[in-house]
């Protein structure tokens, strides 16, 4: 049956977005290992995690610059959807992996999301949501 409503293109965009997200998670895991090994001993855990949000956001933006054309999102709304999808998958991954693989306490995991307590993850997630759209804008310049 022909796909008259464009769902095939949307499904392809979602599939590619999830593939790019898996690449983002791989890069972020390597980034986290490097942060823990090289930065944390010098500045401490909390400061290293805060700096990690900034450098991680930059890495995600670079990946967005490189891969947004391949995702083939056709509008600003779709690009923002891609970023939101990445953010939702990231939170789910971080909570599941952090709790059940890395065995972090819920308190430790949620501290990264507490802006008043110095957690910068909400800003990192906002950056992630906006990265595909901003990368697309920058590529048009």
DSSP 9-31: HHHHHHHHHHHHHHHHHHHHHHH
User: Residue 3: inside a domain, yes or no?
Assistant: no
What does pTM read for this prediction?
Answer: 0.91
What is the length of the chain?
141
Residue 72 half-sphere exposure toward CB, CA atoms < 13 A? 12
Q: Is the per-residue pLDDT at 1 higher than 50?
A: no
Grouping H, G, I as helix, E, B as strand and the rest as coil, residue 103 is coil
**63 in any annotated domain:** yes
Q: Is residue 20 part of a domain?
A: yes
Distance, in Å, from the CA atom of 52 to the CA atom of 107, rounded to the nearest integer, reads 19
Cβ-based neighbour number of residue 17 at 10 Å: 25
Asked if the model's pLDDT at residue 21 lies above 70, the reply is: yes
Q: Which residue shows structure tokens 């990265």? A: 131
Classify residue 13: in a domain, yes or no.
yes
Write down the pLDDT at residue 120: 97
- Check if the beta carbon of residue 71 is closer than 8 Å to that of residue 85: no
Domain of 57 in residue numbering reads as: 9-140
In a domain, 105, yes or no: yes
How far is Cα 73 from Cα 6, in angstroms, rounded to an integer?
12
Our count of domains for the chain comes to 1
Rounded mean pLDDT of the chain? 94
Going from the C-alpha of 118 to that of each of 53, 98, 123, the distances in angstroms are 11, 19, 11
pLDDT per position as a tens digit, 76-123 = 999 999 999 999 999 999 999 999 999 999 999 999 999 999 999 999
Average pLDDT in the 16-29 region? 98
> 85 lies in a domain?
yes
Residue 32's pLDDT band, with cuts at 50, 70 and 90, is very high
Give CA–CA dist 122/28, Å, rounded: 16
Largest Cα–Cα distance of the chain, in whole Å? 60
- Report d(CA 49, CA 36) in Å as an integer: 9
107 found inside a domain: yes
Q: Is residue 2 part of a domain?
A: no
């Amino acid at each position: 049956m022909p796909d008259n409503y464009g769902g095939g293109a949307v499904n392809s965009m979602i599939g590619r977005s999830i593939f790019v997200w898996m690449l983002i998670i791989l890069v972020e895991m390597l980034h986290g290992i490097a942060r823990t090994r090289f930065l944390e001993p010098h500045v401490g855990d909390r400061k290293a995690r805060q700096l990690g949000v900034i450098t991680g956001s930059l890495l995600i933006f670079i990946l967005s610059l490189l891969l947004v054309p391949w995702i083939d999102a056709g509008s600003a709304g779709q690009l923002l959807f891609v970023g939101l999808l990445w953010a939702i998958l990231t939170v789910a991954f971080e909570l599941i992996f952090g709790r059940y693989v890395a065995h972090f306490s819920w308190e430790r995991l949620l501290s990264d999301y507490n802006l008043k307590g110095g957690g910068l993850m909400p800003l990192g997630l906002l950056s992630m949501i906006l990265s595909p759209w901003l990368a697309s804008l920058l590529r048009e310049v």
